[in-house]
Amino acid sequence: MVVRSRVKERIEARFPESTSARQVRELGAFARYCAHRVERDLGQYDAWIIDIAPALGGYVTHVAVCDRGAMVEEQGSGHDGALAVWDAMCRVEQRLREPHR
């Protein structure tokens, strides 16, 4: 089962059920901030789905950006949740900036 951040908007941060309320609040806010930062430069997208989960040796984050029927996805990892979010966001931003996507 997945616990979702309480903010119902087009940027959805999702977490495993075992995630603490503090982690949901803090990592969710950081993930949404990163998505807004990308959109500030590149324009608004239809939807963002950001999955953040513990993994062996740290965390893993999967980001999917949906826009006009197309989807760009990337994954990142890090020693903590914020680093995993940052890694995935940097990768997806690079893909979104590619002219041939």
Q: In what order do the strands lie in the sheet with 58-67?
A: 2-4, 11-16, 47-55, 58-67, 70-78
pTM more than 0.85: yes
- Tens-digit pLDDT profile for residues 50-76: 999 999 999 999 999 999 999 999 999
